[in-house]
Amino acid sequence: MEEMPQPQPSRVYLDHAATTPMVPAALAALTEAAGLAGNASSLHGSGRRARALVEDSRERIAAALDAHPTEVVFTSGGTEADNLAVLGTYAARTRSDPLARGVVSSTIEHHAVLEPVEVLERRGAEVRLVAPEPSGILSVEAVVEAIEDLERMGTPAALVSLMWANNEIGTIQPVREVAEVARARGIVVHTDAVQAAGPCPISFTESSVDLMALSAHKLGGPMGIGVLLAVRDATLEPVVHGGGHERGLRSGTLPVAAIAGCAAAVEDAVRHRAEESNRLITLRDRLIEGALALDLGITVGGSWTPGSAADRLPGNVHLIVPRCEADSLLFLLDSVGIEASTGSACQAGVPGRSHVLDALGMAAAGQVGVVRFTLGRSSTAADVVAALAALASCVPRARAAYAVGGVGA
């Protein structure tokens, strides 16, 4: 007898930090612009219409983030924006001042920053990676000490790169305080604000940073388009050559439709930020408090103040689950319809240890599972209830599998 197909569980999407669904305004802008002909660099009528849409989008993004339109540089995403900021700044600074070979960053940066920094170290840069406090938040004093250590060595810092908010544990970093100290010493300051743009109130002008990276698909826009906000007097060596587009900083034909979708998403995120932040804080706290109440030994990764987004992104729930494997827990959750992340570092789709948890000292804490639920525009109270029910059933199963495997409990 033919076996009847089994019903599939309904899906609950709680991985908005990886990518968030496009908002209607961005999808409409992308779709409308995708039907237009014309290269924005062409001089004929279609080209001028495409250029007008690009410049209108540039102005809208600048207005939403309190920047000047000339400070908006389009890239293929947050990774390219970070690479341009880190590699481009260092090349330009060391060309004008060969002694300025210092780079200061943190141990919990995204790999889009850490790997370019590693490249610079192989090329002779003096690198200082500052570890966070146990809360997952960097100390301003520790960053300043790293800057001063480089100065004592006679290799002053060319660049300080510090993420605005961590992509795994959601902690918000003291970027503005660090930037004020660094810029007073003539150091260029870059921030990876890929996770922060949208959830956090951001004024590029008031941030005191020189360079800020954003990615559209993290805030409801299309994939494949990002922005580097660069102050007008920023000196950068381009990473991509050929054509001199975008102030000569990023060559390549401009993706007009993606840019239009990006502008619509940025505007939408900023317009709804306050109300959406409050809504997500409520859901976040409900999920964290519910997970802690399951009596499964679950703890929270990173700083968390209930009712506040001052120290943690409003939609980030990072849970540490002792005595189980992260991947096992993730797959069990997925089998019951909960789409989340381990929060582990991944290279080309291959999961590995999280450098963020290592930086927090979790490497010596024994086998732990982690799950990162990240909430967004589509998240509801029903999603929280479903996630808690899934944790209650999946954590014991993950622990049983871990014990049977002969490596735990």
Statement: residue 24 has pLDDT above 50: yes
CA atoms within 13 A on the CB side of 197: 32
Q: What percent of the chain has pLDDT over 90?
A: 85
* Angle 75-224-36 from CA coordinates, rounded to 5°: 90
**Model confidence pTM above 0.75:** yes
Helix (H) or strand (E) holding 153: none
Looking at residue 233, its pLDDT comes to: 94
For residue range 326-363, list pLDDT tens digits in order. 889 999 999 999 999 986 545 445 556 789 988 888 75
Residue matched to tokens 């109270």 = 381
| Residue numbers annotated as active site | 346
Q: Which amino acid is at 403?
A: A
Confidence at 408, pLDDT banded by 50, 70, 90: very low
The mean per-residue pLDDT over the stretch 255-274 comes to 97
The mean per-residue pLDDT over the stretch 302-306 comes to 96
Cα(first)–Cα(last) distance of the chain, in Å? 42
| Average pLDDT over all residues of the chain | 93
The domain 272-404 having CATH identifier 3.90.1150.10: the answer here is yes
For residue range 224-251, list pLDDT tens digits in order. 999 999 999 999 999 999 988 998 899 9
- Sorted by where each begins, the domain ranges of the chain are 24-271, 272-404
Q: Please choose, from the candidates 233, 175, 225, the residue with its C-alpha nearest in 3D space to the C-alpha of residue 203.
A: 175
Tokens of 328: 């096992």
Quote the CA–CA distance of 378 and 197 in Å, as a whole number: 17
Contacts 24+ apart (CB under 8 A), 4-10: 8/337, 9/335, 9/336, 9/337, 10/337
The mean per-residue pLDDT over the stretch 95-115 comes to 97
Domains 24-271 and 272-404 share a fold: no
Quote the CA–CA distance of 32 and 24 in Å, as a whole number: 12
Pick the CATH number of 24-271 from 3.90.1170.40, 3.30.1490.20, 3.40.640.10, 3.60.15.10: 3.40.640.10
Q: What percent of the chain has pLDDT over 70?
A: 93
Looking at residue 5, its pLDDT comes to: 55
- Answer whether 339's CB lies under 8 Å from 14's CB: yes
Helix (H) or strand (E) holding 233: none
Q: Please choose, from the candidates 61, 89, 104, the residue with its C-alpha nearest in 3D space to the C-alpha of residue 268.
A: 61
